[in-house]
Chain A
Amino acid sequence: MTVPSTSNRTTANEQPVDGGRIRPVRHPGQWIGVAGILVSAALFVQFLVTNEKLRLDLVAGYLFERSVMRGLVLTLELTVVAMILGIVLGTVLAIMRLSGNRVLSFVASGYIWFFRGTPILVQLLFWFFLGSILPVINLGIPFGPTFVEIPTNVLISQFTAAILGLGLNEAAYMAEIIRAGIKSVDPGQSEAAEAVGMSRMLAYRRIILPQASRVVLPPIANNTISMLKLSSLVIVVGLPELLTAVQLIYSRNFQQIPLLIVASIWYLLLTTILTIIQVRIERRLDRSVTGPRPVIRAAERQGTPS
């Protein structure tokens, strides 16, 4: 079928030659750009493959090396535990900051001010050296009798110090993320929850936090990915996680680049997995907004006795 062209005066009566196929605008600039990128990529591949000093052969050898594996596991443990601590404590801090109680709100603000305002390196070392200023930790009634006495250095191991340093610091940032998430939920939601007789806590748990989670998920994923790499700071309390593990190896064999590639491969893999998890959760949370409409089963419903 031919469509008469009417858009252009000069060719108003001209019949299209190829059935009226629309020819898109050309973008020669984009083609030049693509060509440039392809050439650069080829140069990079050539550099990787032909450079003998790079020693890519070492990468595969060290990828599953025992100390690298131990570092990887430690990185994962630190990230998971610190993030859980950060999210739980951050949620509590966010709710405290938004509460009507001025003392609670002030304490939460003070916490966030202090833990965001001091270097994380200082915080890590502080927990590690806590024993030097507080040799014994007492459990008991304040100003009253003591039930248990534990030497601080027994209670706070290297791992505990690392978790306290990373987790308590993360909680301060997380509190602000979660506070923003809670504030993004329409106040009508808590009113509706109250109107059906929900307590404040139940309203948070069932109505407000689930809606806030849609908003806070991307920044929480951001911080988790950040934590993967931030956790390398725990070398200051003597814990060799992934990055430190490869640094220890190249300090002996001087193959810095291959070993840094080893660490990067693992970091990239973990980040990829986290991103996939993030996308999955996000899709699940978005279901109520963007999901497909359910099929109406009117006949079926009317058939069921009520």
Chain B
Amino acid sequence: MTEPLVRAVNVRKSFGDLEVLRGINLEIDRGEVVCVLGPSGSGKSTFLRCINHLDRIDKGEIWVDGHLIGYRRAHGHTYELRPHEIAAQRRGIGMVFQKFNLFPHRTALENITEAPIFVKRQSKAAAEARAHELLERVNLGDRADFYPAQLSGGQQQRVAIARALALDPTLMLFDEPTSALDPELVGEVLDTMKDLASDGMTMIVVTHEVGFAREVADRVVFMDGGVVVEQGPPRQVLDDPQHPRTRGFLAKVI
């Protein structure tokens, strides 16, 4: 058995007096697709944001691809990483947001090439060639010159997925990627994510789409109250939940 790509050990996080994460332990293998379900306020989005250090953890540790996220251990001490070191870690982790967060002043193509050109110092030509490839991959090959405001929500989210892929991440994080979409646009984004999963991308998806979890996920993780309550193959967790809180939640959403 190889080392897991993501390893979270006893992760704790508080916002003021409110403890949002109360000891998360989770391991995710390379190529695995994990869907995180749970009621709002269960800490699932916060946990996802901690994995690329958008929120910093208070206790515990998160390892991605052999790197301790956000910190460095030396001589028995833990040091915070410098901003450019954190930035370097984030380049290996793609993130897709609920509200897309595309750069509105840049075209679809420029959204994708922005980081490769200005962060990775790739040539403009190389970055654009790759961006065209990625747009084809998310079925938006003909929308390169469109600004985000000229695209539908589903198209914007697919551009956002292409933008995250442009840095060749080893891990993709999805934070409720379809929650801000009109119902008829959800399918196209989920299809893009399915393609990504079948290409072997390691994905952590915080979602309310139980159908997607059932069909695509290798493992479903149910979180509540800042801890992992139950996890396992989708069939097991979704069809035969063991924990009463999982049962209660699934009864409400299905």
Contacts and interface: CB of A to CB of B under 8 A. Distances in A.
Given A296-B142, A306-B133, A192 B101 contact: yes
A302 B145 CA distance: 15
Interface of A: 186, 188-189, 191-200, 202, 206-207, 210-211, 214, 285, 287-289, 291, 293-294, 296-298, 301-302, 304, 306
Contact of B119 (A197, A285, A288, A298): A197
Given A197-B90, A197-B115, A197-B120, 19 more contacts: A186-B101, A188-B99, A188-B101, A191-B101, A192-B103, A195-B54, A196-B90, A196-B166, A197-B87, A197-B119, A199-B87, A202-B118, A207-B114, A214-B105, A285-B105, A289-B104, A291-B147, A291-B150, A306-B129
B106 A306 contact: no
B91 interface: yes
Contacts of B158: none
Nearest to B103: A207
B88 A197 contact: yes
Nearest to B148: A288
Contacts, number: 96
Given A195-B90, A198-B118, A289 B136 contact: no
A65 B132 CA distance: 60
Given A296-B142, A298-B141, A301-B142, A196 B97 contact: no
Contacts of A302: 141
Contact of B104 (A191, A211, A301): A211
A302 B144 CA distance: 12
B16 interface: no
B142 A293 contact: no
13 contacts: A189-B103, A191-B54, A195-B95, A196-B163, A196-B167, A197-B91, A214-B105, A287-B147, A291-B147, A294-B146, A298-B141, A301-B144, A306-B136
B246 interface: no
Contacts of B99: 188
Contacts of A186: 101
B104 A198 contact: no
Given A196-B90, A196-B119, A197-B115, A288 B101 contact: no
Interface string B72-106: 00000000000110011011011101010111111
Given A196-B114, A288-B105, A306-B133, A298 B163 contact: no
B149 A189 contact: no
Nearest to B99: A188
A291 B91 CA distance: 32
A289 to B, nearest CB: 5
